[in-house]
Amino acid sequence: MQNIRHLNYSDIEAYFLSINEKKFRAKQVWEWLWQKHAMSFDDMSNLSKDLRNRLSEVFSFPSLKVDATQYSSDGTIKTRFATIEGHKIEGVLIPTDERKTACVSSQIGCSLSCKFCATGYLERKRNLTFDEIYDEVVLINQQSLRVYDQKLSNIVFMGMGEPLLNYNNVLKAIERISAEDGLFMSPKRITVSTAGVAKQIKKLGDDKVRFKLALSLHAANDVKRNEIMPINETNNIKVLIEALNHFYKQTGNEITFEYILFKNFNDSAKDAEELVKVYRQVPADLVNIIEYNPIDNFKFTKPDEEGIETFMNYLEKNKVNARLRRSRGKDIDAACGQLANKDRL
């Protein structure tokens, strides 16, 4: 059966006309799918039971379900979602006084094997469909309204998987999230983070996307980046700089570098100097310096406070717009790099 959310409006309208129903039924169903956030045909309460049954005989309506939820002492909420066939993914609600951010996943597992990321040790099962990604945002938004009485202000594609290896579904999800007949969220409040797929970064530029882009850099020379991010062997820093410049030239959208500090690996004065050089070659708005969050398979630790401060001071002295991002949700394995579907959730 065809997934009803994979039809466009005119397809749904044509279906109702084919069964001698009024055209306005399409509007009712469309609103349930994308604005009232039905998760099954049974939710469509202004349709007759017979019509709901008829729809369920012709179309499938797979949707994500909340499988488990964990609450951090700092207010962060991690949710494990289950797909229709039982695969698990995780999303995180990160609250601050100023904003409520959803961190969403784009793949079930990941194929990139970044050494510091728990998801990188999972097998990639498949890409999430655009409607599954949409469900993540809807369910986290409902959570935010329920717990904090505020709707989401921001979305970051920094959960499980590499968004640019699920290019079409991610862009379609963002289209629905930002559509007036969807969640009607500004694309400027959405950030897509990539480990560095240069070809797809350029394609984002060519497609004139309106959202922000973040590059997970984490080392500013190829030798070190190869060691922790195998993707760098085919997408090196020079190639990524070229791709980011193309993206900016085409869109003018904000670019951020993400840089996790690892003790005695990428936190020296020389590392800071190399980071400054990369920063100066791209019209980047910001460098996010991120605390490392330990995972079971990776040998590194985070620097002490003095080491972090020295690194930050060097960047500031060299006029790099850098911000230290303290990780949220560490006590429930919800922080950057920790999403791994642990059984204890």
**Catalytic residue numbers, as ranges:** 90, 336
Q: Which DSSP symbol is given to 129? A: P
Q: 228 to each of 58, 90, 124, how far by Cα in Å?
A: 48, 23, 18
Helix, strand, or coil (residue 97): coil
Q: Give 89's strand partners.
A: 81
Q: How far apart are CA 222 and CA 262, in angstroms?
A: 16
Residues near 170 by beta carbon (within 8 Å), at least 6 away in sequence: 106, 130, 133, 157, 163, 164, 192
What residues form DSSP beta bridges with 156? 103, 191
Q: What is the residue type of 158?
A: M
Pairing of strands 190-194, 88-95: unpaired
Measured CA to CA, the distance from residue 225 to residue 230 in angstroms comes to: 8
